[in-house]
Structure 1
Amino acid sequence: MSFEAYLDNIVKKTGKTPMHMRDEAIQQGILTDDMKATVFTDWLKNEYQLGHGHAMAMWKYFIDHQWIITKHSKL
């Protein structure tokens, strides 16, 4: 499955775009400096009932869009 297919499936399953998820994460105080993937993916799994692969795809999407900054993405 391609990365785009993962994203399309997430939107189809949740009815939320990545931007909507970002807004909700900000409202709930989920996004923090140097956050760990586990904190974020656990939130996605609980909030949107995503599986691990889809949650990790969202982690990558958020990092790629610089919505999450980690010690590794600062390099």
Structure 2
Amino acid sequence: MSFQSYIDNIKAKTGLSPDDFRKRAEDKGFLADGVLKPSTKATMVTDWLKAEYDLGHGHAMAIYATFKGKTS
């Protein structure tokens, strides 16, 4: 599955875009001014996305990758 397919599937399942997740992650304290905090580990983000949005590990990692700057 391509990266864009992961993002499209996440949007279809949750109704949220990567930008929406970025805003929510900032509210959770994982990001500061849109940038991952050095103390934020991938597991922290993926556990949150799995618990609150019922995402699988690969889909949660795709959102985490967008926080790190991946766009395609």
Per the TM superposition, whether the score is higher than 0.5 is yes
Which structure 2 segments of 5+ residues have no match?
none
Aligned residues: 65
- Pairing partner for 1:40 from 32, 40, 45: 45
**Structure with the bigger percentage of strand:** 2
In 2, Cα distance between equivalents of 1:47 and 1:9: 16
In structure 2, the CA distance between the partners of 1:25 and 1:41, relative to structure 1 (3 Å rule), is same
Instruction: Please state how far the C-alpha of 1:49 moved relative to its aligned partner.
Output: 0.7
**Equivalent residue for 2:25?**
25
Q: TM-score, normalised by structure 2?
A: 0.80
Please tell me the root mean square deviation across aligned C-alpha atoms, in Å. Answer: 1.4
**Equivalent residue for 2:63?**
58
Instruction: Please state how far the C-alpha of 1:51 moved relative to its aligned partner.
Output: 0.3
Q: Which has the larger radius of gyration?
A: 1
Q: Give the share of equivalent positions with the same residue, in percent.
A: 52
Task: Indicate the larger mover: 32-41 or 14-23.
Answer: 32-41
Instruction: State the AA in 2 paired with 1:19.
Output: D
Instruction: Please state how far the C-alpha of 1:27 moved relative to its aligned partner.
Output: 1.7
Q: TM-score, normalised by structure 1?
A: 0.77
The answer to whether the aligner puts 1:14 opposite 2:18 as a matched pair is no
